[in-house]
Every structure is written in C-alpha cells, then in structure tokens.
C-alpha cells in the first residue's frame, strides 16, 4: 500500500526531500488537504497559519533547488500547542481570557523550529491553560479521538495528539505538567516524550505550574521523536530553570539496542485503579523487553500513592500565582461591564474569562497558600515531593528504566467523567510523579484494549532521554502497534 504524504513519518519525508522526489510545498499541500477532510470531525486546530506556512515551505524548496544543505527536519510540518507563544500568530491557551491575544515574540522552541526550517501549520486545542486530562476543559471546543469520535483524545495536549494521529500534521509539540504529553499520546496511539525538567527551554510557554511544566514532542514513531528532541534540546539563559547539560546524538544512541538494560516493574503502578486490560499490556510489554535481552526486575516506589494529592496541592498553588497576571488591564480579555473600581474590574474579568476548571484550581491553590494553611498543605506537599524524588533515585540504583502504564485505562467517552473532578484527576495517577521528580518519561504504543490504543510508559533518570529512546525504539521495532491506523476518522 502506497502511503499518502500526510501519512508518512518525518524521517521518511526527510529522505524524499533529500532525494528531490518530493517538494516541501507538496507535503504542505497534502497536510492542508487532509485537514480539510478530517478537521470537521476531529477539531484539533484553534488557528491555522496557512499563508506563513506555505511561504516557509516555498523557501525550503528554493534552498533545496540551489543545493543548500539543510537541517534534518527542514520542510516538515509541525503543529504547536496553543499555550506556546508564536509571534504574530494568535495564542489563546484555549481560554476566553486570551481569545484574541497575539504575542509580540516567539517562544524558544518556536525559534528552534524556525532555525531548523520546520513548517508551522497552526495552533492546536488544549484544556484551558493546560488544566485537564481530556481537552473537554477547552474554553473554545472539544477535540475528539481519531480512533473513536465519541471518546476524548486525552489532555491537556489533546489537540496536538489528535492532529498527529489523524495525520493533520507530521509532528506536534505539547507541554507536560502532570502527564499532558504522555497521557494523550497513550489515548491516541502515538509517541509522546516529556524531557527532563530543564532540558528544553520554557521561555515563551504560558506558565501553569512553573516547577512542573516542560515542553516535548508528539510524533508518529520513536525515530521522529529522537529527531524532534534533537532540534529543541538546548540550553537557554532566558529560562532560569534551563540546564546547561551536554545533548547527545539521540538518533545514534537510540539504535544501541535493548540488550543489557535493566527494566524495573513497580507494583505501585499495577495496583488499584489500573484496569485489567492495561495491566495485561504491561506484562506483555515486559515479555517483549525480556525477549530482546533486557532484564526485568522488581522495584519499589512507596511514595507513589501520595503523588496525586501532592500534585493537586503544588500545581494549583503555582497556578493561582501565575494566573494572577490576567487582570483585564495589561492584555487579554476585559469585562465589557462598567465597574466602580479596579478590584471590581479584576473580579468581573476573571469571572467571565476563566472556565470552571481553571477557577477551581485557582481557588484550591489560593487556599493552600493562604495564611494558616501554607505549612499544613503547600510546605508539606513539597516535603512529600522530595520523598517521591528520592524514591526514584533509589530505584534507579537497581535498574536503568522503569516500565509502567501511561494511563489507568484506554480513552473514555466524552462527558463520562466531567461531573466528578476527582474521577478525572485519577486519569493522571501514572504520570504525575515523573513531573514532581523532574525526570524524563516517554509513552509509546504498547497494545490495544476494547479496540482503543494503550500506551506503555518508560521512566528514566534525569537527562537520560537517550536510554528511554533506546528502549522505546527496540520495543517499537519488535512490535507493530505504531503502524496501526484509526478507522473512525477515515470513515
């Protein structure tokens, strides 16, 4: 079967461009045609940047015609999660309060995309201000899962994940505060990687929880993920949390094979709350790793049970501080009602501009930081966070990586969990601890349950993304899950 250009991976298209068998403008046209076909069903994009994208693709073709040597991902379309600043292109965070905001500058990762001559297709939908696990909290519209249009794509990077799986882009970028890259990657059957905190610059990422947020790739396979990470992993002095640490050649490291790796299985990630079909996928994945020459060992992460409650103190506390800047004065939405003073302006603007989940988290966070409760909640949560990090440090003394589910279940139906926020928060139980420890994690297609994709998650020590990619690539080459295509979006 001959694949359409929009169905191909970045590395396949890279080879076609290099051999002059296809033009960047032809790839772009293929993606735009595909968006026209399926976007009315999926609703991945908030804003398309067709004019700028076509001009950028034509520039790549002009340079290739002159015989210029270009970066590996030149000419490849990429979709941007709409909480990443794009100069001259609307950046909404899927919120009414920023619905018409056009940033005056590019985020660091956007600068990297332009330097590497990727083609920015547009901005993708998300849970408002990245607060959610299903993209149902978008203040604009709901994105649907390409495998089942009545199911969620995951969140908060649901628009990016759905766009990749529906072939509405070749690559996409997301942000991950508590699983927002990995969980939608699992639900949509693609690859999603959260780098080590500090590996990729957060400059220009609209802040949710500054000590947890990290930008990362969503791709069709592990090779694309390695190429993408290579393009964005860079020290940036404008981000005070960026770490000046050597960046290896991910593509070369990825191909070293799984043999000799020790992979840990933690019972804390296979207990109550994890569905039986997902557990089955994990145990089958462990067998695949063993067949490839890896050793599977038991490890313990006892403080994992406190990860959910700890996260939902720390993240809302940081959100309440970060979102105080939306006051109806400096930029963004302002209430149209006449008000007597600045306090009334502030309150009315925020009441009208923020959605229910954002308001909920601001209130929880403000309470946790308030006088008399700071020590009891926020300070205690930070101490538990340290214990969670120490858990991982101890575990990595006896293994190279840890294998877990990415999510406790396959994608659920739209509307089935919106009435119970606590039930929705449970969808993040496998991914939160990774953010609190600041370590890297990757989700890759690991199997299917009830006809829906199930991701497996690999967690590694800080700045060991190459080991994650090595194990992920080995598993991918031994299985066919990443090659499966959804039928719902194509019917």
> Residue 3's pLDDT band (boundaries 50, 70, 90)?
confident
For residue 77, the 8-state DSSP code is E
Arithmetic mean of pLDDT, 463-485: 97
Q: What is the 3-state secondary structure (H, E, C) of 296-316?
A: EEEECCHHHHHHHHHHHHHHH
Say what the pLDDT of residue 2 is: 77
Dump pLDDT digits (tens) for 386-430: 999 999 999 999 999 999 999 999 999 999 999 998 899 999 999
Using alpha carbons, list the distances in angstroms from residue 432 to 184, 192, 304, 444: 14, 15, 9, 17
How far is residue 440's CA from residue 283's CA, in Å, rounded to a whole number? 22
| pLDDT of residue 54 exceeding 90 | yes
The vertex-104 CA angle with 103 and 106, nearest 5°, equals: 80
CB 38 within 8 A of CB 149: no
- For the ranges 41-50, 189-198, 258-267, 482-491, the lowest mean pLDDT is seen at 482-491
Question: Residue 345: which H helix or E strand, with range?
Answer: helix 342-353
Per-residue confidence at 51, pLDDT binned at 50, 70, 90?
very high
- The mean of the pLDDT values for the chain is 97
Over the stretch 133-164, which tens digit does the pLDDT of each residue have?
999 999 999 999 999 999 999 999 999 999 99
Please state which of the ranges 174-178, 236-240, 338-342 shows the lowest mean pLDDT: 338-342
Confidence bin at 491 (pLDDT 50/70/90) = confident
Contact status, residue 120 vs residue 52, Cβ threshold 8 Å: yes
Q: Which domains does the chain have, with CATH numbers?
A: 5-267+395-490 (3.90.1300.10)
Reply yes or no on whether the pLDDT at 58 is more than 80.
yes
- Active-site positions? 81, 156, 180
Which DSSP helix (H) or strand (E) runs through 123? strand 119-124
Portion of the chain with pLDDT greater than 90, in percent:
96
What pLDDT is recorded for position 19? 95
pLDDT tens figures, 61-91: 999 999 999 999 999 999 999 999 999 999 9
As given in the structure block, the two tokens for residue 28 are: 């772009």
CA–CA distance, 449 with 280 (Å, rounded to integer): 9
Cβ atoms of 210 and 318 within 8 Å: the answer is yes
Residue 179 confidence (pLDDT) = 98
Q: What strands, in cross-sheet order, belong to the sheet with 295-299?
A: 45-48, 119-124, 77-81, 171-175, 215-219, 191-194, 441-449, 452-459, 401-405, 262-266, 295-299
Q: Is the pLDDT of residue 1 over 80?
A: no
pLDDT (mean) for 270-286: 96
Give the mean pLDDT of 26-47: 98
Structure tokens at 473: 């690539």
Alpha-carbon separation of residue 146 from 152, 153, 225, 330, 438 (angstroms): 9, 8, 20, 39, 31
């Amino acid at each position: 079967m001959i694949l359409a250009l929009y169905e191909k991976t970045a590395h396949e298209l890279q080879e076609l461009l290099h051999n002059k068998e296809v033009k960047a403008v032809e790839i772009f046209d293929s993606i735009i045609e595909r968006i026209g076909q399926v976007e009315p069903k999926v609703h991945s994009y908030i804003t398309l940047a067709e004019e700028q994208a076509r001009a950028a693709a034509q520039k790549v073709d002009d340079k290739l015609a002159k015989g210029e040597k270009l970066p590996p991902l030149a000419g490849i379309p990429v979709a941007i999660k709409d909480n990443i600043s794009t100069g001259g292109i609307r950046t909404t965070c899927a919120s009414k309060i920023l619905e018409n905001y056009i940033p005056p500058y590019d985020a660091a990762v956007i600068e990297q995309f332009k330097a590497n001559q990727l083609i920015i297709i547009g901005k993708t939908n998300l849970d408002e201000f990245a607060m959610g696990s299903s993209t149902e909290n978008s203040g604009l519209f709901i994105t649907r899962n390409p495998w089942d249009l009545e199911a969620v794509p995951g969140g908060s990077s649901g628009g990016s994940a759905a766009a990749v799986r529906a072939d509405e882009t070749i690559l996409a970028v997301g942000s991950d505060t508590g699983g927002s890259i990995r969980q939608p990657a699992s639900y949509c059957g693609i690859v999603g990687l959260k780098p080590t905190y500090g590996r990729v610059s957060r400059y220009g990422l609209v802040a949710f929880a500054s000590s947890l947020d990290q930008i990362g790739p969503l791709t069709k396979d592990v090779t694309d993920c390695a190429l993408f990470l290579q393009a964005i992993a860079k020290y940036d002095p404008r981000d005070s949390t960026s770490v000046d640490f050597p960046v290896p050649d991910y593509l070369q490291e990825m191909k070293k094979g799984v043999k000799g790796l020790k992979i840990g299985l933690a019972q804390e990630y296979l207990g109550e709350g994890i569905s039986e079909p997902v557990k089955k996928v994990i145990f089958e994945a462990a067998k695949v790793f063993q067949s490839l020459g890896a050793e599977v060992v038991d490890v313990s992460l006892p403080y994992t049970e406190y990860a959910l409650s700890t996260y939902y103190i720390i993240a809302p506390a940081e959100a309440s501080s970060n979102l105080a800047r939306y006051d109806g004065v400096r930029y963004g939405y302002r209430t149209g009602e006449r008000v007597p003073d600045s306090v009334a302006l502030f309150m009315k603007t925020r009441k009208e501009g923020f959605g229910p989940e954002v308001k909920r988290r601001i209130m929880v966070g403000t309470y946790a930081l308030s006088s008399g409760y700071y020590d009891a909640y926020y300070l205690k949560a930070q101490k538990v966070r340290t214990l969670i990090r120490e858990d991982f440090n101890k575990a990595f003394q006896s293994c190279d990586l840890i294998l877990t589910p990415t999510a406790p279940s396959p994608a659920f139906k739209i509307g089935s969990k919106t009435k119970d926020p606590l039930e929705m928060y449970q969808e993040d139980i496998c991914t939160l601890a990774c953010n609190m420890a600041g370590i890297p994690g990757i989700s890759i297609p690991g199997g299917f349950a009830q006809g829906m994709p199930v991701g497996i998650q690999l967690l590694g020590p800080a700045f060991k993304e190459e080991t994650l990619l090595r194990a992920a690539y080995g598993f991918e080459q031994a299985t066919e899950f990443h090659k499966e295509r959804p039928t719902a979006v194509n019917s």
